[in-house]
Structure 1
Protein backbone atom coordinates (compact mmCIF):
# COMPACT_ATOMS: atom_id res chain seq x y z
CA UNK A 1 0.00 0.00 0.00
CA UNK A 2 1.35 3.47 -0.86
CA UNK A 3 0.57 5.12 2.51
CA UNK A 4 3.51 4.59 4.86
CA UNK A 5 2.45 6.72 7.85
CA UNK A 6 -0.45 8.78 9.20
CA UNK A 7 0.07 10.60 12.48
CA UNK A 8 -1.51 13.36 14.54
CA UNK A 9 0.32 15.80 16.79
CA UNK A 10 -1.96 17.47 19.39
CA UNK A 11 0.80 19.90 20.40
CA UNK A 12 1.64 21.07 16.88
CA UNK A 13 -2.08 20.78 15.92
CA UNK A 14 -1.28 18.79 12.77
CA UNK A 15 -2.23 15.61 10.95
CA UNK A 16 0.45 14.29 8.59
CA UNK A 17 0.13 11.63 5.90
CA UNK A 18 3.10 10.22 3.98
CA UNK A 19 2.95 7.95 0.94
CA UNK A 20 5.45 6.57 -1.57
CA UNK A 21 4.77 6.03 -5.28
CA UNK A 22 6.70 4.46 -8.15
CA UNK A 23 6.04 7.46 -10.39
CA UNK A 24 7.83 10.77 -10.96
CA UNK A 25 6.82 13.98 -9.22
CA UNK A 26 5.35 15.34 -12.45
CA UNK A 27 2.98 12.38 -12.69
CA UNK A 28 1.89 12.86 -9.07
CA UNK A 29 1.32 16.57 -9.73
CA UNK A 30 -0.92 15.77 -12.71
CA UNK A 31 -3.05 13.38 -10.65
CA UNK A 32 -3.77 16.06 -8.05
CA UNK A 33 -4.39 18.91 -10.48
CA UNK A 34 -6.58 17.28 -13.16
CA UNK A 35 -10.09 16.70 -11.87
CA UNK A 36 -10.78 13.59 -13.99
CA UNK A 37 -7.88 11.92 -12.17
CA UNK A 38 -8.33 13.55 -8.77
CA UNK A 39 -11.90 12.35 -8.34
CA UNK A 40 -10.83 8.75 -8.93
CA UNK A 41 -9.08 8.67 -5.56
CA UNK A 42 -9.88 11.72 -3.42
CA UNK A 43 -12.90 10.12 -1.74
CA UNK A 44 -12.30 6.90 0.24
CA UNK A 45 -13.88 3.65 -1.01
CA UNK A 46 -17.65 3.99 -0.85
CA UNK A 47 -17.50 7.80 -0.90
CA UNK A 48 -16.29 8.79 -4.41
CA UNK A 49 -15.61 12.47 -5.02
CA UNK A 50 -17.13 14.68 -7.68
CA UNK A 51 -15.58 18.11 -8.32
CA UNK A 52 -18.15 20.64 -9.53
CA UNK A 53 -15.71 23.57 -9.58
CA UNK A 54 -11.92 23.66 -9.89
CA UNK A 55 -10.31 27.05 -10.43
CA UNK A 56 -6.66 26.10 -10.03
CA UNK A 57 -5.24 29.60 -9.49
CA UNK A 58 -4.03 31.40 -6.38
CA UNK A 59 -7.22 32.82 -4.86
CA UNK A 60 -9.37 30.40 -6.86
CA UNK A 61 -11.38 27.64 -5.29
CA UNK A 62 -12.55 24.07 -5.77
CA UNK A 63 -15.89 22.67 -4.64
CA UNK A 64 -16.52 18.94 -4.41
CA UNK A 65 -18.84 16.45 -2.81
CA UNK A 66 -18.45 12.82 -1.78
CA UNK A 67 -21.44 10.51 -2.20
CA UNK A 68 -22.12 7.66 0.24
CA UNK A 69 -23.57 4.30 -0.85
CA UNK A 70 -26.94 5.51 0.46
CA UNK A 71 -26.74 8.67 -1.67
CA UNK A 72 -25.82 11.13 1.09
CA UNK A 73 -23.54 13.97 -0.03
CA UNK A 74 -20.75 15.52 2.01
CA UNK A 75 -19.42 18.81 0.57
CA UNK A 76 -16.03 20.43 0.88
CA UNK A 77 -14.22 23.40 -0.59
CA UNK A 78 -10.63 24.47 -1.16
CA UNK A 79 -9.29 28.00 -1.52
CA UNK A 80 -5.91 27.85 -3.26
CA UNK A 81 -3.38 29.84 -1.18
CA UNK A 82 -0.15 28.83 -2.91
CA UNK A 83 0.74 26.90 -6.08
CA UNK A 84 4.29 25.83 -6.92
CA UNK A 85 4.47 23.47 -9.90
CA UNK A 86 5.37 20.59 -9.63
CA UNK A 87 6.34 20.54 -5.94
CA UNK A 88 2.94 21.20 -4.41
CA UNK A 89 0.17 23.54 -3.38
CA UNK A 90 -1.57 24.82 -0.25
CA UNK A 91 -5.30 25.24 0.31
CA UNK A 92 -7.73 26.40 2.96
CA UNK A 93 -9.78 23.22 3.37
CA UNK A 94 -13.34 23.75 4.59
CA UNK A 95 -16.38 21.61 5.31
CA UNK A 96 -19.03 23.20 3.14
CA UNK A 97 -22.63 23.23 1.95
CA UNK A 98 -23.72 22.68 -1.66
CA UNK A 99 -22.82 26.29 -2.55
CA UNK A 100 -19.30 25.98 -1.20
CA UNK A 101 -20.05 28.19 1.83
CA UNK A 102 -18.53 27.03 5.15
CA UNK A 103 -20.71 24.56 7.06
CA UNK A 104 -21.88 25.86 10.42
CA UNK A 105 -20.01 24.43 13.39
CA UNK A 106 -17.34 22.77 11.27
CA UNK A 107 -13.63 23.69 11.23
CA UNK A 108 -11.46 25.04 8.41
CA UNK A 109 -7.88 23.81 8.06
CA UNK A 110 -4.76 24.81 6.14
CA UNK A 111 -3.67 21.81 4.08
CA UNK A 112 -0.31 21.48 2.37
CA UNK A 113 0.34 19.00 -0.44
CA UNK A 114 4.04 18.47 -1.08
CA UNK A 115 5.51 16.22 -3.78
CA UNK A 116 9.16 15.18 -3.40
CA UNK A 117 11.37 13.09 -5.72
CA UNK A 118 12.82 9.84 -4.38
CA UNK A 119 15.23 7.26 -5.78
CA UNK A 120 12.30 5.05 -6.82
CA UNK A 121 9.71 7.67 -7.74
CA UNK A 122 8.06 10.26 -5.51
CA UNK A 123 6.81 10.93 -2.01
CA UNK A 124 3.56 12.63 -0.99
CA UNK A 125 3.70 14.68 2.20
CA UNK A 126 0.24 15.93 3.20
CA UNK A 127 0.19 18.13 6.31
CA UNK A 128 -3.03 19.61 7.69
CA UNK A 129 -2.81 22.45 10.25
CA UNK A 130 -5.68 22.96 12.69
CA UNK A 131 -6.63 26.07 14.66
CA UNK A 132 -7.30 24.21 17.91
CA UNK A 133 -6.97 20.84 19.60
CA UNK A 134 -10.77 20.61 19.55
CA UNK A 135 -10.84 20.99 15.74
CA UNK A 136 -8.18 18.30 15.33
CA UNK A 137 -10.07 15.94 17.64
CA UNK A 138 -13.34 16.63 15.82
CA UNK A 139 -11.89 15.74 12.41
CA UNK A 140 -10.17 12.61 13.77
CA UNK A 141 -13.48 11.49 15.28
CA UNK A 142 -15.05 11.82 11.84
CA UNK A 143 -12.65 9.10 10.65
CA UNK A 144 -10.10 11.32 8.91
CA UNK A 145 -7.13 9.02 9.61
CA UNK A 146 -8.75 5.89 8.20
CA UNK A 147 -10.54 7.78 5.41
CA UNK A 148 -7.44 9.57 4.15
CA UNK A 149 -5.42 6.34 4.29
CA UNK A 150 -7.99 4.42 2.24
CA UNK A 151 -8.32 7.31 -0.22
CA UNK A 152 -4.59 7.74 -0.88
CA UNK A 153 -4.13 3.98 -1.19
CA UNK A 154 -6.27 4.22 -4.34
CA UNK A 155 -3.83 6.61 -6.01
CA UNK A 156 -1.33 4.02 -7.25
CA UNK A 157 -3.83 2.61 -9.77
CA UNK A 158 -4.41 6.11 -11.16
CA UNK A 159 -0.69 6.76 -11.51
CA UNK A 160 0.00 3.38 -13.14
CA UNK A 161 -2.95 3.37 -15.52
CA UNK A 162 -5.63 0.71 -15.42
CA UNK A 163 -3.96 -1.81 -17.72
CA UNK A 164 -0.63 -1.76 -15.89
CA UNK A 165 -2.45 -1.93 -12.56
CA UNK A 166 -4.85 -4.80 -13.24
CA UNK A 167 -4.43 -6.43 -16.66
CA UNK A 168 -3.81 -10.17 -16.49
CA UNK A 169 -4.29 -10.34 -12.71
CA UNK A 170 -7.81 -11.75 -12.76
CA UNK A 171 -10.19 -11.13 -9.86
CA UNK A 172 -8.34 -9.50 -6.98
CA UNK A 173 -9.73 -9.48 -3.43
CA UNK A 174 -8.41 -6.99 -0.85
CA UNK A 175 -9.51 -6.89 2.78
CA UNK A 176 -9.70 -3.20 3.68
CA UNK A 177 -11.13 -3.46 7.20
CA UNK A 178 -13.15 -5.75 9.47
CA UNK A 179 -16.25 -4.97 7.43
CA UNK A 180 -15.02 -3.91 3.97
CA UNK A 181 -13.63 -5.97 1.09
CA UNK A 182 -12.66 -4.55 -2.30
CA UNK A 183 -12.87 -6.78 -5.39
CA UNK A 184 -11.37 -5.59 -8.69
CA UNK A 185 -11.32 -7.05 -12.19
CA UNK A 186 -10.18 -5.43 -15.44
CA UNK A 187 -12.43 -6.19 -18.41
CA UNK A 188 -10.89 -5.57 -21.82
CA UNK A 189 -13.88 -3.77 -23.22
CA UNK A 190 -15.80 -0.46 -23.09
CA UNK A 191 -17.64 0.69 -19.99
CA UNK A 192 -20.95 1.03 -21.83
CA UNK A 193 -20.99 -2.69 -22.66
CA UNK A 194 -19.79 -3.73 -19.20
CA UNK A 195 -22.61 -1.68 -17.66
CA UNK A 196 -25.18 -3.29 -19.95
CA UNK A 197 -23.81 -6.72 -19.05
CA UNK A 198 -24.56 -5.97 -15.37
CA UNK A 199 -28.02 -4.47 -15.85
CA UNK A 200 -29.73 -6.26 -18.79
CA UNK A 201 -31.22 -9.68 -17.92
CA UNK A 202 -30.61 -11.16 -21.38
CA UNK A 203 -26.90 -10.39 -21.06
CA UNK A 204 -26.62 -11.36 -17.39
CA UNK A 205 -27.93 -14.83 -18.17
CA UNK A 206 -25.04 -15.37 -20.60
CA UNK A 207 -22.17 -14.79 -18.19
CA UNK A 208 -23.10 -14.51 -14.50
CA UNK A 209 -23.11 -18.28 -13.95
CA UNK A 210 -20.08 -18.97 -11.77
CA UNK A 211 -18.22 -22.23 -12.48
CA UNK A 212 -19.18 -24.38 -15.46
CA UNK A 213 -22.15 -26.63 -14.82
CA UNK A 214 -24.51 -24.02 -13.40
CA UNK A 215 -27.46 -22.19 -14.94
CA UNK A 216 -29.31 -19.03 -13.99
CA UNK A 217 -32.93 -19.79 -13.11
CA UNK A 218 -34.07 -16.28 -12.14
CA UNK A 219 -32.82 -12.89 -13.32
CA UNK A 220 -35.02 -9.96 -12.37
CA UNK A 221 -33.39 -6.53 -12.33
CA UNK A 222 -34.19 -2.97 -13.34
CA UNK A 223 -31.37 -0.49 -12.68
CA UNK A 224 -33.50 2.10 -10.90
CA UNK A 225 -33.04 3.26 -7.31
CA UNK A 226 -35.69 1.78 -5.04
CA UNK A 227 -36.37 -1.27 -7.21
CA UNK A 228 -36.00 -4.84 -5.91
CA UNK A 229 -33.98 -7.46 -7.77
CA UNK A 230 -33.60 -11.23 -7.62
CA UNK A 231 -31.09 -13.73 -9.00
CA UNK A 232 -31.10 -17.53 -8.62
CA UNK A 233 -28.93 -20.43 -9.83
CA UNK A 234 -29.17 -24.20 -9.97
CA UNK A 235 -26.68 -26.93 -10.91
CA UNK A 236 -27.00 -28.80 -14.19
CA UNK A 237 -27.69 -32.52 -14.03
CA UNK A 238 -24.54 -34.27 -12.87
CA UNK A 239 -23.12 -31.15 -11.16
CA UNK A 240 -22.91 -31.17 -7.37
CA UNK A 241 -24.49 -28.37 -5.38
CA UNK A 242 -27.79 -26.96 -4.15
CA UNK A 243 -29.86 -24.22 -5.80
CA UNK A 244 -29.41 -20.78 -4.23
CA UNK A 245 -30.19 -17.16 -4.93
CA UNK A 246 -29.83 -13.56 -3.84
CA UNK A 247 -32.33 -10.75 -3.51
CA UNK A 248 -32.09 -7.13 -2.51
CA UNK A 249 -32.84 -3.53 -3.32
CA UNK A 250 -31.06 -1.09 -5.60
CA UNK A 251 -30.19 2.00 -3.58
CA UNK A 252 -28.34 4.23 -6.03
CA UNK A 253 -27.67 4.33 -9.78
CA UNK A 254 -25.29 6.53 -11.76
CA UNK A 255 -25.68 5.16 -15.31
CA UNK A 256 -22.53 3.48 -16.65
CA UNK A 257 -20.59 4.48 -13.53
CA UNK A 258 -22.03 3.25 -10.22
CA UNK A 259 -24.73 0.98 -8.79
CA UNK A 260 -25.24 0.38 -5.07
CA UNK A 261 -27.48 -2.38 -3.76
CA UNK A 262 -28.17 -4.59 -0.78
CA UNK A 263 -27.62 -8.34 -1.18
CA UNK A 264 -29.30 -11.06 0.88
CA UNK A 265 -29.17 -14.83 0.41
CA UNK A 266 -32.73 -15.80 -0.43
CA UNK A 267 -34.55 -17.98 2.08
CA UNK A 268 -32.04 -17.47 4.90
CA UNK A 269 -31.72 -15.25 7.93
CA UNK A 270 -28.15 -14.30 7.02
CA UNK A 271 -27.53 -10.55 7.28
CA UNK A 272 -27.45 -8.58 4.05
CA UNK A 273 -24.33 -6.99 2.62
CA UNK A 274 -24.02 -3.62 0.90
CA UNK A 275 -22.53 -3.91 -2.61
CA UNK A 276 -21.09 -0.83 -4.29
CA UNK A 277 -20.13 -1.40 -7.96
CA UNK A 278 -18.16 1.25 -9.85
CA UNK A 279 -16.83 1.24 -13.42
CA UNK A 280 -13.92 3.30 -14.76
CA UNK A 281 -12.81 3.17 -18.40
CA UNK A 282 -9.35 3.95 -19.71
CA UNK A 283 -7.73 3.06 -23.03
CA UNK A 284 -10.64 0.83 -24.06
CA UNK A 285 -10.57 -1.23 -20.84
CA UNK A 286 -12.93 -1.04 -17.86
CA UNK A 287 -11.93 -1.53 -14.25
CA UNK A 288 -14.77 -3.00 -12.23
CA UNK A 289 -14.51 -2.33 -8.50
CA UNK A 290 -16.96 -3.96 -6.11
CA UNK A 291 -16.81 -2.68 -2.54
CA UNK A 292 -18.64 -5.08 -0.22
CA UNK A 293 -19.65 -4.02 3.29
CA UNK A 294 -20.25 -6.88 5.72
CA UNK A 295 -21.97 -6.58 9.14
CA UNK A 296 -18.87 -7.89 10.93
CA UNK A 297 -15.50 -9.60 10.43
CA UNK A 298 -16.91 -13.06 11.15
CA UNK A 299 -19.45 -12.80 8.33
CA UNK A 300 -16.74 -11.43 6.05
CA UNK A 301 -14.48 -14.40 6.71
CA UNK A 302 -17.27 -16.95 6.22
CA UNK A 303 -18.14 -15.51 2.81
CA UNK A 304 -14.51 -15.26 1.65
CA UNK A 305 -13.93 -18.88 2.65
CA UNK A 306 -16.66 -20.11 0.26
CA UNK A 307 -14.44 -19.66 -2.79
CA UNK A 308 -16.39 -16.60 -3.87
CA UNK A 309 -13.45 -15.12 -5.76
CA UNK A 310 -12.98 -18.22 -7.90
CA UNK A 311 -16.64 -18.26 -8.88
CA UNK A 312 -16.56 -14.55 -9.72
CA UNK A 313 -13.45 -15.00 -11.87
CA UNK A 314 -15.15 -17.76 -13.85
CA UNK A 315 -18.06 -15.42 -14.54
CA UNK A 316 -15.89 -12.42 -15.42
CA UNK A 317 -13.77 -14.51 -17.79
CA UNK A 318 -16.97 -15.64 -19.48
CA UNK A 319 -18.17 -12.03 -19.73
CA UNK A 320 -14.92 -10.96 -21.35
CA UNK A 321 -14.78 -13.90 -23.76
CA UNK A 322 -18.39 -14.27 -24.80
CA UNK A 323 -19.90 -10.77 -24.63
CA UNK A 324 -16.89 -8.62 -25.45
CA UNK A 325 -14.35 -10.88 -27.16
CA UNK A 326 -17.11 -12.67 -29.04
Structure 2
Protein backbone atom coordinates (compact mmCIF):
# COMPACT_ATOMS: atom_id res chain seq x y z
CA UNK A 1 0.00 0.00 0.00
CA UNK A 2 1.61 3.26 -1.08
CA UNK A 3 -0.17 5.48 1.49
CA UNK A 4 2.16 5.73 4.46
CA UNK A 5 0.40 8.45 6.49
CA UNK A 6 -2.77 10.46 6.84
CA UNK A 7 -2.34 13.70 8.75
CA UNK A 8 -5.39 15.65 9.93
CA UNK A 9 -4.80 19.05 11.47
CA UNK A 10 -8.01 20.75 12.62
CA UNK A 11 -6.09 23.86 13.70
CA UNK A 12 -4.49 24.31 10.25
CA UNK A 13 -7.69 23.04 8.56
CA UNK A 14 -5.75 20.47 6.53
CA UNK A 15 -5.87 16.82 5.57
CA UNK A 16 -2.66 15.46 4.07
CA UNK A 17 -2.19 12.06 2.45
CA UNK A 18 1.44 10.95 2.16
CA UNK A 19 2.33 8.15 -0.24
CA UNK A 20 5.53 6.65 -1.59
CA UNK A 21 6.10 4.95 -4.92
CA UNK A 22 8.83 2.92 -6.63
CA UNK A 23 9.01 5.23 -9.63
CA UNK A 24 10.76 8.47 -10.50
CA UNK A 25 9.10 11.85 -10.01
CA UNK A 26 8.47 12.40 -13.74
CA UNK A 27 6.64 9.09 -14.03
CA UNK A 28 4.40 9.84 -11.03
CA UNK A 29 3.73 13.33 -12.44
CA UNK A 30 2.37 11.72 -15.63
CA UNK A 31 -0.38 10.13 -13.53
CA UNK A 32 -1.61 13.69 -12.89
CA UNK A 33 -0.84 15.18 -16.31
CA UNK A 34 -2.36 12.54 -18.61
CA UNK A 35 -6.18 12.43 -18.35
CA UNK A 36 -6.39 8.75 -19.38
CA UNK A 37 -3.91 7.82 -16.62
CA UNK A 38 -5.53 10.17 -14.11
CA UNK A 39 -8.95 8.64 -14.56
CA UNK A 40 -7.51 5.19 -13.84
CA UNK A 41 -6.87 6.19 -10.23
CA UNK A 42 -8.71 9.43 -9.36
CA UNK A 43 -11.67 8.34 -7.32
CA UNK A 44 -12.05 5.20 -5.23
CA UNK A 45 -12.28 1.88 -7.13
CA UNK A 46 -16.09 1.83 -6.84
CA UNK A 47 -16.38 5.47 -8.08
CA UNK A 48 -14.16 5.69 -11.18
CA UNK A 49 -13.62 9.06 -12.84
CA UNK A 50 -13.98 10.13 -16.45
CA UNK A 51 -12.10 13.33 -17.29
CA UNK A 52 -13.67 15.54 -19.95
CA UNK A 53 -10.98 18.23 -19.82
CA UNK A 54 -7.53 18.55 -18.24
CA UNK A 55 -5.48 21.71 -18.65
CA UNK A 56 -2.73 21.82 -16.02
CA UNK A 57 -1.65 25.39 -16.68
CA UNK A 58 -2.28 28.22 -14.23
CA UNK A 59 -5.80 29.41 -15.02
CA UNK A 60 -6.59 26.05 -16.65
CA UNK A 61 -9.36 23.65 -15.68
CA UNK A 62 -10.05 20.00 -15.25
CA UNK A 63 -13.59 18.66 -15.36
CA UNK A 64 -14.62 15.14 -14.53
CA UNK A 65 -17.45 12.90 -13.44
CA UNK A 66 -17.18 10.03 -10.98
CA UNK A 67 -19.73 7.25 -11.43
CA UNK A 68 -20.88 5.15 -8.49
CA UNK A 69 -21.78 1.47 -8.55
CA UNK A 70 -25.49 2.29 -8.94
CA UNK A 71 -24.86 4.74 -11.80
CA UNK A 72 -25.04 7.86 -9.62
CA UNK A 73 -22.78 10.58 -10.99
CA UNK A 74 -20.85 13.23 -9.05
CA UNK A 75 -19.13 16.00 -10.99
CA UNK A 76 -15.97 17.83 -10.08
CA UNK A 77 -13.97 20.75 -11.41
CA UNK A 78 -10.42 21.84 -10.65
CA UNK A 79 -9.33 25.40 -11.27
CA UNK A 80 -5.56 25.26 -11.61
CA UNK A 81 -3.62 27.79 -9.52
CA UNK A 82 -0.04 26.59 -10.11
CA UNK A 83 1.60 23.77 -12.04
CA UNK A 84 5.34 23.22 -11.97
CA UNK A 85 5.97 19.94 -13.75
CA UNK A 86 7.05 17.50 -12.49
CA UNK A 87 7.13 18.52 -8.83
CA UNK A 88 4.05 20.51 -7.80
CA UNK A 89 0.47 21.33 -8.57
CA UNK A 90 -2.18 23.35 -6.76
CA UNK A 91 -5.85 23.75 -7.57
CA UNK A 92 -9.23 24.72 -6.22
CA UNK A 93 -11.32 21.52 -6.07
CA UNK A 94 -15.07 22.01 -6.35
CA UNK A 95 -18.16 19.90 -6.78
CA UNK A 96 -19.69 20.54 -10.21
CA UNK A 97 -23.04 20.29 -11.93
CA UNK A 98 -23.73 18.25 -15.08
CA UNK A 99 -22.21 21.04 -17.25
CA UNK A 100 -18.95 21.03 -15.26
CA UNK A 101 -19.72 24.33 -13.54
CA UNK A 102 -18.88 24.73 -9.83
CA UNK A 103 -21.74 24.11 -7.42
CA UNK A 104 -21.85 27.20 -5.17
CA UNK A 105 -23.77 25.29 -2.48
CA UNK A 106 -20.88 22.90 -1.86
CA UNK A 107 -17.49 23.60 -0.27
CA UNK A 108 -14.27 24.42 -2.12
CA UNK A 109 -11.10 22.59 -1.13
CA UNK A 110 -7.65 24.08 -1.80
CA UNK A 111 -5.37 21.22 -2.89
CA UNK A 112 -1.58 21.17 -3.10
CA UNK A 113 0.32 18.23 -4.56
CA UNK A 114 4.08 17.87 -4.12
CA UNK A 115 6.31 15.20 -5.61
CA UNK A 116 9.91 14.68 -4.52
CA UNK A 117 12.61 12.05 -4.80
CA UNK A 118 13.07 10.21 -1.51
CA UNK A 119 16.50 10.61 0.03
CA UNK A 120 18.14 11.34 -3.31
CA UNK A 121 16.91 8.03 -4.79
CA UNK A 122 15.74 8.96 -8.28
CA UNK A 123 13.62 5.80 -8.48
CA UNK A 124 11.51 6.53 -5.36
CA UNK A 125 8.97 9.32 -5.06
CA UNK A 126 7.07 10.76 -2.12
CA UNK A 127 3.76 12.36 -3.01
CA UNK A 128 1.93 14.58 -0.55
CA UNK A 129 -1.64 15.64 -1.35
CA UNK A 130 -2.76 18.33 1.08
CA UNK A 131 -6.35 19.55 1.16
CA UNK A 132 -6.98 22.82 2.97
CA UNK A 133 -10.49 23.66 4.08
CA UNK A 134 -12.16 27.00 4.73
CA UNK A 135 -13.56 26.03 8.15
CA UNK A 136 -13.65 23.20 10.68
CA UNK A 137 -17.29 22.61 9.70
CA UNK A 138 -16.32 22.20 6.05
CA UNK A 139 -13.49 19.84 6.97
CA UNK A 140 -15.83 17.73 9.11
CA UNK A 141 -18.51 17.75 6.39
CA UNK A 142 -16.18 16.49 3.66
CA UNK A 143 -14.51 13.90 5.88
CA UNK A 144 -17.99 12.64 6.90
CA UNK A 145 -18.81 12.36 3.17
CA UNK A 146 -15.87 9.94 2.80
CA UNK A 147 -13.15 12.24 1.45
CA UNK A 148 -10.32 10.81 3.57
CA UNK A 149 -11.18 7.18 2.85
CA UNK A 150 -11.82 7.95 -0.83
CA UNK A 151 -8.42 9.63 -1.26
CA UNK A 152 -6.64 6.75 0.47
CA UNK A 153 -8.40 4.23 -1.77
CA UNK A 154 -7.77 6.29 -4.91
CA UNK A 155 -4.07 6.78 -4.20
CA UNK A 156 -3.87 3.11 -3.27
CA UNK A 157 -4.48 2.28 -6.94
CA UNK A 158 -1.37 4.08 -8.19
CA UNK A 159 1.16 1.32 -7.52
CA UNK A 160 -0.67 -0.95 -9.95
CA UNK A 161 -0.47 1.69 -12.67
CA UNK A 162 3.26 2.24 -12.21
CA UNK A 163 4.16 -1.41 -12.91
CA UNK A 164 2.91 -1.20 -16.51
TM-score, structure 2 as length reference = 0.95
**What is residue 79 of structure 1 aligned with on the other side?**
79
> Residues 52-201 of structure 1 correspond to what in structure 2 (within 5 A)?
52-118=52-118, 119=121, 121-161=124-164
* Secondary structure of residue in 1 paired with 2:128: strand
Structure 1: gaps of 5 or more residues: 162-326
The 4+ residue runs of structure 1 with deviation greater than 4 A are none
Q: Describe the superposition over 1:33-86 as per-residue Cα deviations: whole angstroms up to 9, x where unpaired.
A: 101100000010110000011122110100001000110001110011001111
Higher relative contact order (CA 8 A, sep 6+): 2
Equivalenced residue count is 161
Counterpart Cα distance in 2 of 1:30 and 1:45: 20
Tell me the residue number matched to 2:22: 22
Inter-partner Cα distance in structure 2 for 1:56 and 1:127: 17
- Structure 1: how far apart are the matches of 2:20 and 2:55? 27
Give the superposition deviation at 1:24. Answer: 0.3
Measure the CA separation in 1 of the matches of 2:15 and 2:99.
27
SS at the partner of 1:139?
helix
- CA RMSD of superposed structures (Å): 1.0
Cα distance in 2, alignment partners of residues 64 and 29 from structure 1: 19
Alpha-carbon distance in 1 for matches of 2:55, 2:32? 13
Match of 1:36 in 2: 36
- The CA deviation at 1:104 is 3.9
d(CA) in 2 for partners of 1:37, 1:95: 21
Secondary structure, aligned partner of 1:145: helix
Structure 2 residue ranges without an equivalent (≥5):
none
TM-score for the superposition, normalised by structure 1:
0.48
Distance of 2:7 and 2:100 partners within structure 1: 28
CA distance in 2, matches of 1:72, 1:152: 22
CA deviation after TM superposition for structure 1 residue 100, in Å: 2.0
Larger Rg, first or second structure (1 or 2): 1
Q: Following the alignment from structure 1 to structure 2, what is the Cα–Cα distance between the partners of residues 98 and 156?
A: 31
